[in-house]
Amino acid sequence: MEKAKVYFTRDITPEGLQKVYEALGVDITNGGKNKVGVKVSTGEDGAKGYLKPELIGPFVKSVNGIIIECNTAYPGARNTATDHIEVAKKHGFTTYTDVDIMDAEGDFEIPVKNGKHLKYDLIGNNFKNYDAIINLAHGKGHAMGGFGANLKNQSIGIASREGKAYIHSCGKTKSPKLCWISKHKQIDFIESMAEAATAVADYLKSENKPIIYITVANALSLDCDCDANQGDPVMNDIGIFASLDPVANDQAFIDAIWASKDAGAKDLQERIDSREGRAILPYAEKLGLGTTDYELVEL
Give 72-89 as a DSSP string: -SSSSTTSSHHHHHHHHH
CATH T-level assignment (fold) for domain 4-298: Rossmann fold (3.40.50)
For residue 2, what pLDDT is reported? 85
Q: Is 160 left (phi over 0), alpha (psi -120 to 50) or beta?
A: beta
Within 10 A of 105 (CB to CB), how many other CB atoms are there?
Answer: 10
What is the C-alpha separation between 153 and 252, in angstroms, rounded? 16
pLDDT tier, 80 (very low <50, low <70, confident <90, very high otherwise): confident
What is the C-alpha separation between 248 and 5, in angstroms, rounded? 8
Instruction: Work out the mean pLDDT of the chain and round it to a whole number.
Output: 96
pLDDT tier, 239 (very low <50, low <70, confident <90, very high otherwise): very high
Where do the structural domains in the chain lie, given as residue ranges? 4-298
- The predicted model scores a pTM of 0.97
The arithmetic mean of pLDDT across residues 39-56, rounded, is 94
The arithmetic mean of pLDDT across residues 184-188, rounded, is 97
Is the C-alpha dihedral spanning 27, 31, 35, 38 positive or negative? Answer: positive
Q: Give me the residues paired with residue 239 across strands.
A: 217
Residue 78 predicted with pLDDT over 80: yes
The arithmetic mean of pLDDT across residues 5-27, rounded, is 98
Residue 63 predicted with pLDDT over 90: yes
The arithmetic mean of pLDDT across residues 242-264, rounded, is 97
Strands 239-243 and 211-217: antiparallel
Strands 146-148 and 120-124: unpaired
The arithmetic mean of pLDDT across residues 149-172, rounded, is 97
The arithmetic mean of pLDDT across residues 202-222, rounded, is 98
The arithmetic mean of pLDDT across residues 4-11, rounded, is 98
Residue 75 predicted with pLDDT over 90: no
pLDDT tier, 95 (very low <50, low <70, confident <90, very high otherwise): very high
Within 10 A of 181 (CB to CB), how many other CB atoms are there?
Answer: 9
pLDDT tier, 272 (very low <50, low <70, confident <90, very high otherwise): very high
For residue 46, what pLDDT is reported? 87
pLDDT tier, 9 (very low <50, low <70, confident <90, very high otherwise): very high
For residue 1, what pLDDT is reported? 67
The arithmetic mean of pLDDT across residues 112-130, rounded, is 97
Rounded-to-10 torsion of CA 127, 147, 90, 163: 30
Return the closest-CA partner of residue 223 out of 178, 181, 271. 271
CB 88 within 8 A of CB 50: no
